[in-house]
């Protein structure tokens, strides 16, 4: 599964820069993939995405 890593800026005045960067990167990835998983760490985030994989068929509903 491919991954994109995002780092927060070192400037304390931009405390929400990581969230903004992750949001922008997620939007870009969702344009080419149906699923994106974001895992936050200390001052970093990893975005995992499917690279053109087909989704499994839906499970049958219980009646």
Domain boundaries, the chain: 3-49
Residue 57: its pLDDT value, please?
60
pLDDT in tens, 9-61: 877 655 578 888 999 999 999 988 888 999 999 889 999 998 765 555 665 66
Residue 27, phi then psi, degrees to nearest 5: -60, -40
Structure tokens at 5: 């890593």
Q: Is the model's pTM score more than 0.85?
A: no
- 22 contacts: CB under 8 Å, gap ≥ 6: 6, 38, 40, 45, 47
Residue 13: its pLDDT value, please?
55
Q: Would you tell me how many other CB atoms lie within 10 Å of the CB of residue 36?
A: 18
Residue 25: its pLDDT value, please?
92
């Amino acid at each position: 599964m491919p991954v994109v890593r995002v780092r927060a800026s070192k400037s304390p005045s931009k405390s929400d820069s990581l969230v903004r960067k992750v949001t922008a990167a997620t939007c870009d990835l969702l344009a080419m993939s149906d699923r994106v998983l974001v895992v936050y760490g200390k001052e970093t985030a990893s975005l995992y995405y499917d690279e053109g994989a087909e989704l499994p068929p839906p499970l049958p509903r219980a009646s």
